Amino acid sequence: MAHIAIIGGGIAGLATAYYLQKKREVTGASLDYTLIESDTRFGGKIITRTIDDFVIEGGPDSLVTTKPWGVALCRELGLDNELIPTNDYKRGIFVLNKGKLVEFPGGFRLTIPTEFVPFAVSPLISPLGKLRMGLDLFIHPRQETGDESLASFVRRRLGQEALDKIAGPMMAGIYMADPERMSIQSTFPQFLEMERQHGSLIKAMQRAKKNRPVNGAANGKPQPMFLSLKGGLNDLVKALVSRLEGRLCLGQRVAAIRSTNPGFEIRFDDVSQPPITADAVVLAVPAYTAAQLVESFLPPLAQLLAKIRYVSTATISLGYRRADVIDQHNFGGFGFLIPKSEKRKLAACTWTSTKFDGRAPNNDILLRAFVGGDGQEKVVKLPDNELLSLVRAEIADLMGVTAKPIICQIFRWVKGNPQYDVDHLARVEQMKEIAQQATGLYLTGSAYLGIGIPDCVKDAMLTTDSIFEQLNSNA
């Protein structure tokens, strides 16, 4: 019987175990697996806390529906009736511009305007900035085929102001990244394809909008861009864990992996735990941890893994009595983004109880602030009381909310966000090739082909397929 060791119990590791088990049931393959997690809980960055009926997410808060793998997994696990959409009738997003919150123009798709009137009347972009964005209709596509930074791409197509006020804060809110270093090929390859096929981002978006079906769902309602779970995304983790039949090891840190060619021996920090052997090893851990584990038998791979940068971030969730704050701010939207040019410590803020129903009691409001990211990591290291004071001061200044919160939850993610720097995809391909030198070694997770839950689920499916291909070739 083949034995697979999966190291890392975040969403990538859990999904890999689930799909291995599922494929074993379909094929009748003779295999078992061990899932090893160093923490005392499964889920990685997916963590939900419910406090006094406030549903607080420490990490991701939603599943993007344009990448269907996360939602599909929820439905497969019987969570279909637990899925909830965003309140899209309140979906306004604001951007801090010269110290004031300005609503993002309607009709934008990512960073690209598709409707003339909302774009034309918006005070967010200056008249010259709007003219420069309009030049996208006439600028010839780039001839080179290699990667480039997101900043270079947006600056080239839409201009500096679009980068500073739209693309920069929006992408920083997703990736907590510096757009000057961020790979367009690894994060938004569809932009490159739009430029190649249509010669203009604006033309591409307008044509896509024209060809989009009126109704995106079977019940006649448009498909929302984001979904979550009523009880929080940790319900996905619990559903996955409840389905797993293999050996599950919590609180066990792997100290070393030795290649026995064929196979592997895995040793633990806790020397009282006997080593385990495996025919294949899936590393569903941060790239820097994977680098340490493969260094003894595959140094070239370790060197490449160690080059993937990580940045630290934190989320600060604050709950308020509605009566204490409603006269200070109306919370009429999903939240706001902050360009770096505004020189603020906050990167973004989500008005959680507006974005999703059921995230706060009826008479209360929940918001979530984001700090840290590329170039802003020092603030993450502040003591809790200083970090809370800083966030409250920023929110008071930007939103007028001076009331004392009735709850506060801080989640720090030290070296928690992988950065997809320029040429990231080429480096990942090189890593995969080198990993094949150690038959049975697999890399999966947010460090490689996508940072979101759906990306990790998709990568877990691909990893499972690769494992079965290896097992079949060895048969």
Based on the fold, state whether residues 179 and 251 are members of the same structural domain.
Answer: no
A 10 A CB-CB count for 356 gives 25
176-189 pLDDT tens trace? 889 999 999 999 99
415 token code pair: 């070296």
| SS3 of residue 33 by DSSP | strand
Give rounded-to-5 percent helix, strand, coil for the chain: 40, 25, 35
**Claim to verify: residue 264 and residue 412 sit in the same structural domain:** no
Q: What are phi and psi of 81, to 5 degrees?
A: -75, -10
Residue 117's pLDDT is 77
| Cβ contact 156:396 at 8 Å | no
Q: What's 457's domain CATH number?
A: 3.50.50.60
- How far, in Å, CA of 27 to CA of 403, rounded? 59
Residue 190's contacts (CB-CB under 8 Å, 6 or more residues apart) are: none
Q: Is 169 in the same domain as 267?
A: no
Q: What is the pLDDT of residue 215?
A: 43
Average pLDDT, the chain: 93
Taking the CB of residue 117, how many other CB atoms lie within 10 A of it? 10
Stretches in the chain below the pLDDT threshold 70? 107, 109-111, 114, 211-222, 475
| Amino acid at residue number 29 | A
Number of domains within the chain: 3
What is the strand order of the sheet 280-283 is part of? 247-250, 31-37, 2-7, 280-283, 441-443
Residue numbers of the domain that contains 359: 311-418
Chain mean position to CA 461: 18
Tens of pLDDT along 123-162? 999 999 999 999 999 999 998 888 999 999 999 999 999 9
Cα separation, 221 vs 95, whole angstroms:
29
Looking at the fold, whether 414 and 316 belong to one and the same domain comes out as yes
pLDDT for residue 54: 98
pLDDT per position as a tens digit, 382-401: 999 999 999 999 999 999 99
For residue 212, what pLDDT is reported?
A: 60
Tell me, yes or no, whether 464 and 414 share the same domain. no
